[in-house]
A and B are shown apart, each in its own frame.
Chain A
Amino acid sequence: MELRPELILTTVIKSLGDNVIPAIDPDNAPARQQAQLSIALLEILKSRLPLMYRYDRHDLKSFVELGETLASSGSNKEATRNIERLCSEARELLGRARADPGEMLERSKDLRRAISVYVDDVRETGDEHTALKVDRIVVASAEELTLRERAWMLPFGFEADPAIVPDLETLLDPVR
C-alpha cells in the first residue's frame, strides 16, 4: 500500500499550496488566513507523524519509571499496589513494542523484492513444473493481499459493489 499517511499529506499540502490558495480572493483575509493555517497544521502533522509511535513509547516508559520510583518509596497501600501492577503490565508491553514501524516497512519491501526475484529466477532456471507451482502459490497468496488493499482503498469509491468487500478490521491481524 503506497498511499501512506505521509505521502497523502505531502500531496494534499502541495495541492492546496499550488492550486487552491492562489485562487482564493485576495480581499478575503479570513479565508486566506484559514487556508494558510490549515497548510501549516498539516505540515506539523506531517513532521510529527513518523515520530508518533516513538513518542507514545517514550511517554509510557517515562511514567513506568516514575511509577516504579514512587512505588518503591511508598507504603503497601492499595494505590501503590495499583501502580506496581500497571507498571508491570506496561513493562511487558514496552518489551513487545521495540520495533520501529519504519523498520517493519523496510523489511516488508526487502521481502517483496526478494520473492519477486525468486519468481523470476525459478521461471528462468527451473523446470516448468516447479515454475508453475511457484506461480500458483503467488497467485493464490495475492487473493488475501488484494482483498485487504481493496478494503483499505474502499473510501476512494471505485468498487462496483462495495458490499462484497469485507470490513478492513476483519482482514488485519490483531496486535498481540
Chain B
Amino acid sequence: MHGFAIFFQFRIVRAGWQINWWERVWNEDYVSDVPLVHVAINWLRKNLPAGDRLSIVHGDFRNGNFLFREADGEITAWLDWELAHIGDRHEDLAYLLQHSYGHYAEDGKTYLVCGLTDRADFLKRYEEATGLPVDPATLKFYEVLNLFKCAAITRGTSPRIMIGGKCHQDTVIAYAHAISYLLMEELRLVLEEVI
C-alpha cells in the first residue's frame, strides 16, 4: 500500500508522465521541429512541482466547454473530459489563464481571464471560493505545461491530421493550427520570464 501511495505521489501528482506523453505526441507529429519547444520540455523536467493534494483535473477546462441555463446562468454540465486525470489542481487553474480563452477589456490593456476579470482578481477569487492557496511556482509550471501541450496539439498534430486526410473537418483543423502561433508566443513570453 505504501508503495502504491509513493507511485501515485510520483506518477500522478508530479506531472512527469504528462511531459513524456506530450513530448511523444510532439516528436511523432511535428512536420518541422521547433527548438523553443525543446527549451520548454527541458525546463518542465527540471522544475517539476511536488503538488499539495490530489484533485480531479479536467484537462481542457475553459469557457466554451460547458453548458448553461440561459435563464439564470447556472452551469449544468462540463464537456470534453477525454483528457481528465488525477493530478494537481493548479493545472486546470493555469489552463483558464491561457490567453486564447480570454480577451482584453475595453481599455485595450487589461487582459480579462476567460473574459471575466483580471488575473490577480481571478486568482484571489479562486482562493476565496476554494479555501486553497495558489502556489505561484506551481501555477507557472502548469502554465508552461499547458502551453506546450496545446502547442503540440495545434502546431504538431493539426497539420499531421491534414496531411493524413482521414478527417472530415480538415478546414477546421487548419484554423486550429493557426492558433498555434499565438500559443508559441505565449509560451515564449512565459519562458522568457522563468529562464
Binding site for B on A (CB under 8 A): 2-3, 7-8, 10-12, 14-15, 18-19, 108-109, 112-113, 115-116, 119-120, 123, 131-132, 135-136, 138-143, 146-147, 149-150, 152-153, 156, 158-161
Contact = CB atoms under 8 A, between A and B. Distances in A.
A139 B178 contact: no
Contact of B155 (A2, A12, A112): A2
A158 B178 contact: yes
Interface stretch (B34-42, B64-72, B125-133): B34-42
Contacts of A153: 178, 181
B contact patch SS: helix
30 contacts: A2-B31, A3-B159, A7-B159, A7-B163, A10-B162, A11-B174, A14-B170, A15-B171, A19-B168, A109-B33, A113-B32, A113-B33, A115-B33, A116-B33, A116-B38, A135-B191, A136-B195, A138-B36, A138-B38, A139-B39, A139-B191, A142-B184, A146-B181, A146-B185, A146-B188, A158-B100, A158-B178, A158-B179, A159-B182, A160-B104
Interface in B11-36: 31-36
Interface centre among A10, A14, A147 (most CB of B within 10 A): A14
A159 B36 CA distance: 21
A contact patch SS: helix
Q: What size tier do the contact residues of chain B reach?
A: 35 or more
B43 A108 contact: no
A150 B182 contact: yes
A106 B176 CA distance: 24
Nearest to A128: B46
Contact of A7 (B162, B175, B188): B162
B42 A119 contact: yes
Given A3-B178, A158-B100, 9 more contacts: A3-B177, A7-B159, A11-B174, A112-B34, A120-B41, A138-B36, A139-B192, A142-B35, A142-B188
